[in-house]
């Protein structure tokens, strides 16, 4: 034999030159079809296997994997080729390897063998399908004989022994072998769940696929199967209750996609893993049924609740499920989209797809419903999640008769697998959900040390001067301008003297970064509107030698006028947000120039009024009696923010507010009340809120009694006010910290004192006692007849006095069933004695709380 000369091809493995011991064309075709490596080809050539006939002659060696140096898997593949060749040559006279042998030949041949496989029970031999399993697991002949004795001669019989394999109870079979056989059973189940059939699972069982299956972690496999299942519909192969380990694995995967900025925003507020687990567990619910639990997220205004929505968006994106976020208002929707884009901007991949951010309009809800129905055309069981932002504003009527409510109900009827409702004022939300029997799971977004909230605010004055449309006088020599139109007015609309005093103090301050929010004027187009107020106020202070940037935020957009300018500019709301405009103003006029923003409806929810270097320092807020307490809290929340350090850098220690004292106190106590609800519901899961409050063994402290300071309704629904916890749910106040101002206002008011005395003496200490206006007039004129030419007290005068007492939350209007006329009732009988003046009449057992 001549000495062989080797050459090195591009793949790096040496092979003999073609002229000596080179495989023929037929054998090379077999090698290419079966994907034999160049190294294995060289080793086979070294053993004088140069044609198909020689390869067939080494069949016994290939079956025993006895060829030295050649990979066992390679020998198995070539042995299968030998079996195919023999089978094909028996059916047909001639075999043309190049023509008849292709990539599908061996798989087709193996399937035919498995279908035709039978077990020779008399001889104890294994069926071909079981032999294949044993070959993949490399089980010895002795163990195969033991399996035959145990009647495990087919793959079907092996699957039937899964229970015994789980506890290693097969006799005379090693535990390691039983463990491998159990994994084969799990491999079949995995194949079944993925393909909805197990007909060809043995065909896919080989060394490579089984090794990959073994390497995959059990919780990773469970999570993968669950995700595959939700996109293919539940069918008849549900994944079962997904384990906590698999849910945690999904949360870990989600955490990898959170940007560093988003993780930092979540720090010390909430654990993003908790939110991810809630999403994943709900979306991977085995039955695919709508979630029965509503996750309610509470947190103070402007405290960073948008980060919760961002984490949910990432979790939904990883599961490739649709997430619909509904928020209050179109401008607020645009603002939320920008916030989410900023939070998700640094994530590992684009997260824009699969998320709908829509406003609370009937048309947009209808389009979202159509999107879900479109997805379910291809997959009737497709799952989706819903986040309702500012959820307390979504429940508007008891019967749900508004168009938005009807279409919102239709969207909910599609059965979202995940549902979360978020708001800073969640009490009315919990009320409605409890009323409907929906179980609630509470979560709170905490505040950080850099948060400036309502507790850090200080009241400018506790006067109750109302800012009316007529407003206060202004300098007569200054013409008013509606930015681009000249108009002459002799007053500042919806502006009171305390407002002017507060604005003057702010403008004369030596600190930088002054940003004042004014929300007193509800008019936009009518006479005396917010634009007139903004321009008139700027002209008013120009006459005093001070100037500022005047801004008016309306539904159309933002109007503004710089210091020294006669005309202003207008920017449509779709072009820039208020915060972006403030940032540009900071660059144009620097922090030394104050900015005063006038608005009303825009200063309510979702919108932020700040930049990275300027935050609100003052706020003037007035809301009519038709607004709910929660709307008021949302409005005053525009002056709260994460950025206390920015406020202090600009030289301010707190935010100064001018507002109604009763509303201000109620807003402060509201959050204490919400925290108490969180505690109660966490201790009594699934129990309706009203029942929890009634059955509470301990009364709530007076610090949580926000209802004592307001007559406003709670939420949008009028009937919810009647379901508030009664006075018996709270402890009695020890010190009436808010009462001194009220007492001063009515201390010398003779008629008001007499009317309060009538209530106190006739009530006999009964809470909820009420009298009609007619009864008050008759009783008053009987006890206090007119003297020295004075006239009798008329019904109109009583109504005016009682109206003032209602505005000061000393009394409230109540409706008696089957009576047309409303009655007056003391807010609390305990408060009346502290307001009565002894010098204007005697009162026994007066309890002075000061």
Contact yes or no for 425/634 (Cβ under 8 A): yes
Domain presence at residue 228: no
412 with 473, same domain: the answer is no
pLDDT bin (cut points 50, 70, 90) of residue 164 is: confident
> What is the reported pLDDT for 846?
38
For the ranges 82-86, 357-361, 657-661, 752-756, which has the lowest average pLDDT? 82-86
Give the domain-ending residue among 647, 666, 685: 666
Report residue 183's pLDDT band, with 50, 70 and 90 as the boundaries: confident
Rounding to the nearest 10 degrees, give the CA dihedral for residues 501, 504, 508, 511. Answer: 80
| Burial call 495-522: b when 16+ CB within 10 Å, e when fewer | bbebbbebbeebbebeebbbbbbbbbbb
Q: State whether 314 and 374 are in the same domain.
A: yes
Residues 706, 413: Cα–Cα separation, whole Å: 35
pLDDT value, residue 343: 87
Type and span of the H or E element at 641: strand 641-642
> Looking at the domain assignment, is residue 850 inside a domain?
no
pTM higher than 0.75, yes or no? no
**Residues spanned by the domain of 294:** 244-448
Same structural domain, 543 and 633:
yes
16 and 30, same domain (yes or no): yes
Q: Are 356 and 371 in contact (CB under 8 A)?
A: yes
Cα–Cα dist 276/292, whole Å: 18
Distance in angstroms (rounded) separating the CA atoms of residues 468 and 493? 7
On whether residue 705 sits in a domain, the answer given is no
CA 742, CA 234: separation in Å to the nearest integer? 64
CATH code, domain with 413: 3.40.50.300
Number of domains in the chain: 5
Of 423, 448, 473, which one is at a domain's C-terminal end?
A: 448
Predicted pLDDT at 23: 85
Higher pLDDT, 183 or 323: 323
- pLDDT tens digits, one per residue of 703-719: 888 888 888 888 888 77
**96 CB-near residues (< 8 Å, 6+ apart):** none
97 and 23 in a common domain: yes
Same domain, 750 and 776: yes
The more confidently predicted of residues 423 and 828 is 423
- Among 297-311, 621-635, 660-674, 711-725, name the one with the lowest average pLDDT: 711-725
How does residue 346 score in pLDDT terms, banded at 50, 70 and 90?
low
pLDDT bin (cut points 50, 70, 90) of residue 471 is: low
Q: Bigger pLDDT: 679 or 414?
A: 414
Give domain status of residue 237, yes or no.
Answer: no
pLDDT in tens, 437-470: 888 888 999 999 999 999 889 988 655 555 555 5
Q: Are 430 and 422 in contact (CB under 8 A)?
A: no
pLDDT confidence of 477, banded at 50, 70, 90?
very low
- In this structure, the answer to whether residues 204 and 173 fall within a common structural domain is yes
- Residue 121 and residue 105 share a domain: no
For 692-714, give one letter per residue: b (16+ CB within 10 A) or e: bbeeeeeebebebbbbbbbbbbb
In the structure, what pLDDT confidence band is assigned to residue 488 with cuts at 50, 70 and 90?
very low
Q: Does the pLDDT value for residue 329 go beyond 80?
A: yes
pLDDT at 786 over 70: yes
Do residue 547 and residue 653 come from a single domain?
yes
Instruction: Report the chain's mean pLDDT, rounded to a whole number.
Output: 82
Q: Are residues 89 and 128 in the same domain?
A: no
Residue 230 covered by a domain: no
Question: What per-residue confidence (pLDDT) applies to 261?
Answer: 87
End position of a domain, from candidates 112, 128, 145: 112
pLDDT tens-digit map of 18-64: 445 688 888 888 888 888 888 888 888 888 888 888 888 888 888 88
Residues 517 and 579 in one domain: yes
623-665 pLDDT per residue, tens = 888 889 999 999 999 999 999 999 999 999 999 999 988 899 8
One domain, residues 441 and 508: no
Structural domain includes residue 673: no
The mean pLDDT of 356-378, rounded to a whole number, is 92
User: In 10 A of CB 486, how many CB atoms?
Assistant: 9
761 is a domain residue: yes
Q: How confident is the model at residue 479 (pLDDT cuts 50, 70, 90)?
A: very low
Q: Report yes or no on 745 lying in a domain.
A: yes
Per-residue pLDDT at 743: 78
């Amino acid at each position: 034999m001549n000495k062989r000369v080797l050459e090195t091809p591009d793949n790096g493995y040496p092979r003999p030159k073609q002229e000596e011991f080179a495989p023929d064309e037929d054998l090379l075709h077999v090698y290419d079809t079966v994907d034999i490596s160049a190294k294995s080809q060289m080793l086979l050539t070294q053993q004088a296997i140069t044609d198909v006939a020689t390869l067939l002659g080494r069949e016994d060696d290939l079956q025993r994997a006895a060829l030295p140096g050649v990979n066992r898997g390679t020998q198995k593949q070539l042995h299968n080729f030998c079996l195919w060749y023999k089978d094909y040559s028996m059916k047909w006279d001639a075999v043309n390897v190049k023509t008849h042998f292709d990539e599908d030949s061996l798989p087709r041949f193996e399937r035919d063998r498995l279908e035709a496989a039978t077990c020779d029970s008399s001889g104890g031999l294994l069926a071909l399908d079981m032999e294949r399993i044993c070959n993949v697991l490399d089980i010895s002949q002795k163990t195969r004989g033991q399996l035959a004795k145990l009647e495990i001669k087919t793959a079907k019989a092996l699957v039937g022994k899964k229970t015994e394999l789980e506890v290693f109870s097969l006799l005379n079979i090693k535990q390691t072998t039983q463990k491998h056989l159990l994994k084969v059973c799990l491999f079949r189940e995995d194949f079944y769940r993925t393909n909805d059939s197990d007909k060809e699972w043995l065909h896919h069982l080989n060394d490579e696929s089984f090794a990959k299956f073994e390497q995959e972690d059990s919780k990773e496999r469970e999570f993968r199967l669950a995700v595959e299942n939700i996109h293919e519909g539940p069918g008849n192969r549900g994944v079962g209750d997904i384990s906590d380990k698999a849910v945690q694995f999904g949360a870990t995967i989600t955490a990898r996609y959170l940007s560093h900025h988003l993780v930092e925003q979540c720090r010390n507020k909430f654990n993003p893993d908790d939110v991810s687990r809630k999403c994943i567990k709900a979306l991977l619910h085995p039955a695919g049924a709508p979630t029965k639990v509503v996750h309610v997220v509470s947190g103070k205004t402007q405290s960073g609740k948008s980060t919760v929505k961002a984490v949910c968006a990432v979790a939904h994106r990883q599961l490739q499920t649709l997430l619909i976020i509904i928020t209050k208002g179109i401008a607020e929707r645009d603002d939320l989209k920008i916030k989410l884009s900023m939070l998700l901007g640094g994530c590992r991949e684009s997260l824009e797809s699969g998320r709908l951010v829509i406003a609370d309009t009937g048309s947009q809800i209808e389009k979202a419903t159509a999107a879900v129905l479109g997805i379910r055309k291809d997959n009737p069981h497709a799952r989706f999640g819903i986040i309702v932002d500012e959820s307390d504003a979504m429940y508007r009527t008891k019967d749900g008769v508004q168009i938005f409510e009807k279409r919102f109900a239709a969207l909910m009827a599609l059965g979202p697998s995940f549902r979360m409702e978020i708001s800073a004022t969640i009490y009315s939300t919990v009320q409605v959900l409890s009323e409907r029997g929906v179980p609630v799971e509470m979560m709170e977004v905490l505040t950080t040390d850099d948060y400036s909230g309502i507790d850090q605010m200080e009241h400018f004055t506790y006067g109750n001067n109302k800012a009316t449309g007529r407003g206060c006088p202004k300098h007569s020599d200054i013409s008013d301008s509606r930015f681009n139109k000249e108009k002459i007015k002799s007053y500042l609309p919806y502006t009171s003297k305390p407002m002017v005093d507060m604005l003057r103090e702010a403008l004369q301050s030596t600190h930088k970064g002054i940003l004042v929010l004014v929300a007193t004027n509800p008019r936009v187009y009518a006479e005396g509107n917010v634009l007139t107020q903004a321009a008139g106020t700027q002209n008013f202070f120009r006459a005093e030698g001070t100037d500022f940037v005047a801004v008016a935020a309306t539904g159309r957009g933002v109007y503004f006028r710089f210091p020294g300018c006669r005309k202003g500019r207008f920017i449509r709301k779709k072009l820039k947000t208020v915060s972006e405009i403030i940032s540009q103003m900071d660059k144009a006029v620097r922090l030394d120039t104050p900015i005063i923003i006038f608005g009303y409806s825009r200063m309510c929810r979702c919108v932020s009024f700040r930049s990275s270097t300027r935050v609100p320092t003052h706020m003037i807020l007035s809301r009519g009696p038709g607004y709910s307490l929660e709307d008021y809290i949302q409005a005053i929340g525009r002056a709260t923010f994460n950025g206390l350090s920015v406020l202090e850098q600009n030289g301010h220690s707190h935010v100064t507010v001018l507002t109604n004292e009763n509303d201000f106190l109620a807003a402060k106590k509201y959050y204490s009340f919400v925290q108490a609800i969180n505690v109660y519901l966490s201790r009594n899961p699934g129990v309706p809120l009203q029942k929890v409050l009634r059955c509470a063994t301990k009364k709530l402290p007076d610090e949580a009694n926000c209802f004592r300071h307001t007559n406003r309704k709670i939420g949008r629904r009028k009937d919810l006010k009647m379901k508030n916890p009664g006075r018996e749910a709270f402890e009695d106040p020890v010190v009436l910290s808010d009462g001194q101002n009220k007492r001063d206002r009515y201390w010398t008011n003779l008629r008001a004192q007499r009317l309060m005395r009538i209530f106190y003496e006739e009530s006999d200490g009964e809470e909820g006692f009420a009298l009609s206006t007619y009864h008050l007039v008759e009783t008053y004129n009987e006890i206090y007849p007119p003297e020295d030419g004075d006239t009798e007290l008329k019904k109109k005068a009583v109504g005016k006095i009682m109206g003032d007492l209602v505005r000061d939350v000393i009394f409230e209007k109540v409706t008696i069933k089957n009576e047309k006329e409303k009655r007056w009732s003391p807010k609390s009988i305990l408060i009346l004695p502290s307001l009565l003046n002894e010098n204007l009449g005697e009162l026994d057992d007066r309890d002075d709380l000061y």
